Structure 1
Amino acid sequence: MAFDFPQKVLFKHCDPAGIVFYPRYFEMINDCVEAFFSDVIGVPFEVLLRDGGVPTAEIAVKFRAPSRHGDRLILSLEPVTLTPKSFALKITATCAGEVRFVSDSTLVYVGSDGRAAPWPDAILTPLIQFSEDTP
């Protein structure tokens, strides 16, 4: 199972040529992750950030094709690896079946002291469920 996040390419995402300025893809990736935590994990960032957080420890992106103002992207988040303190995931963005970018990243859970910590059960249990539901 993948978590799909629709994202219309808006004017604010584009450079003067009308294509997505690549740093805006990183914002879209974070928007997808934030929606995933809210909609699938059941812990929205505004709650999660009170006692900890899930910063990105590593990210790599392959840009396959440009996206233009008005395109309707689907960002599909899939689990790769879940450990007691981290979650590796892949996000593939497509438009009308064409891959626009593929992102591989690793999130870590940090406690209120800013150090890596084990996932709280309220987050770990749905992460396990999501990871197991994915072939």
Structure 2
Amino acid sequence: MAFEMAQKVLFKHCDPAGIVFYPRYFEMINDCVEAFFDHLGHPFEKLHQTGAVPTAEISTRFTAPSRHGDQLTLGLDVTRLGRSSLGLTITAQCAGETRFTASATLVYITPEGRPAPWPEALRASLEPHVKGQENGE
């Protein structure tokens, strides 16, 4: 089952035409990723004391506009868990309509900014969420 997060489209997300300005979707994606790590018991505020998980790559397909007041549901699936990387798919839906789908790769890094293996406890928390692919890079 995908991790889900509710997101109301707020005024701050919209352009003058009243639709979501596309960079705001990337903020929503990051909020969903952060909420997922909270759900795992590894909140960013603790994780970022000893490392970080920046987005190394992201690809997004926008399929329908979202408007001020829409109630989105962002679903996050873990598609791959590598030695230091994590593949994700994030989909936003509203009333059964897909608004965007994004594929992203996060990388666990040291405070010096170098890729490093996932800490054992974090890897153990991520493994049950991997969908349809063998672990490893």
TM-score normalised over the length of structure 1 = 0.95
Q: How does 1:58-77 map to 2 (within 5 A)?
A: 58-77=57-76
Q: How far 1:129 sits from its partner (Å)?
A: 1.4
Q: How does 1:78-97 map to 2 (within 5 A)?
A: 78-97=77-96
The whole-number CA distance in structure 2 between the counterparts of 1:25 and 1:108 is 20
Relative to its length, the structure with more helix (as a share) is 1
Partner SS state of residue 48, structure 2: helix
Following superposition, which runs of at least 4 residues in structure 1 exceed 4 angstroms of deviation?
none
Alignment CA distance shift 1:6-1:133 (3 Å): farther
Partner SS state of residue 50, structure 1: coil
Gaps of 5+ in 1: none
Letter in 1 for 2:95: A
Q: How does 1:29-48 map to 2 (within 5 A)?
A: 29-39=29-39, 41-48=40-47
Give the % identical residues. Answer: 61
The whole-number CA distance in structure 1 between the counterparts of 2:18 and 2:96 is 21
Aligned length: 133
TM-score normalised over the length of structure 2 = 0.94
Gaps of 5+ in 2: none
